[in-house]
Amino acid sequence: MHLKFVIQYDGTNFSGSQLQSEARGRTVQGELEKALERLAGQPVRATLAGRTDTGVHALGQVASLDFPERPRLDRPAALQKALNGILPDDLAVTQAEEAPKGFHARFSARMRCYRYLLWHSRAPRPLVSRYSLHVPRSLDIEAMGEALARLQGTHDLAAFAGQGMGVPSREEDDSDKPGTVRTVYLARLLRLDSEAGFWTWQAPGVEHDKGWRGEDDGTLLAVDLVANAFLPQMIRTIVGTLLEVGYGKLQPDDVERIIQSRERKQAGPTAKPHGLCLLWVSYEEL
């Protein structure tokens, strides 16, 4: 069977999503493939739609794979049930279905959506601290929303890429480097209702209010980004840059300057990973 899985995981105790040596820690792909091999009696390779770093979570990660014929595991639902019975508690298959022969979790994807949560309050909140970055300082929320909106569209986003991607070399010809042009379909800042689920895409929320500077204590903010693809550490660098805007160290117009520079040092620091979650992957054009 050629299958499509939607998987959910708490990334706190994972060393990222992609398979690597066991000495470097457990991974989402490693745990999934280990469980698949146990049921199949042979190695089964799974491909993930997106790479998530150490500590990053996922509500709607997607995997594609081929599972051999096995008694009582010849239906997606049966395999899903069996997998969830042996997978660790921080990883689960939430949907399973047969996929067309040419379906590929990564290369067939058209859009990916990530959400980064900020808990803006003088005091931390332990029940949300696992999935959000605590920001006790005063923030200019309106300026942050204006800065974020400047990312929509097609841009060379090398300045927001980590791991050396997009950093201009001394040589003029950098054609051998990975491309850093991405299309951002949606970039928005929301204040979430305290009763809403953290990762619910249609959760109650309102766009940032004009003139509201975040002086009220206890606000859960969501930075939502939908794009065709993302560069390494791109979202976390964007969030770090937005916080610099919120602190008044940068202005919203500086985002355009940073984009044009293509220099990582022009952007803000990389935000911590635990506030980031892959919400969903779409295989249809917007």
Asked if 235 contacts 248 with a C-beta cutoff of 8 angstroms, the reply is no
* Residue in 53, 140, 224, 254 annotated catalytic: 53
In the chain, alpha helices (H)? 28-40, 76-86, 141-149, 234-246, 254-261
Q: Has 174 been annotated as catalytic? A: no
Strand-pair category, 57-66 with 276-282: parallel
Give me the helix-helix angle, 141-149 and 234-246, nearest 10°: 140
User: What is the C-alpha separation between 217 and 177, in angstroms, rounded?
Assistant: 45
Q: One-letter amino acid identity for 116?
A: Y
User: What are the phi and psi torsion angles at 83 (to 5°)?
Assistant: -65, -45
Strand, coil or helix: what is 199?
Answer: coil
User: What is the C-alpha separation between 61 and 56, in angstroms, rounded?
Assistant: 11
Instruction: Give the other-Cβ count within 10 Å of 130's Cβ.
Output: 13
User: What is the C-alpha separation between 172 and 210, in angstroms, rounded?
Assistant: 44
DSSP H helix total and E strand total for the chain = 5, 11
Active-site residue list? 53
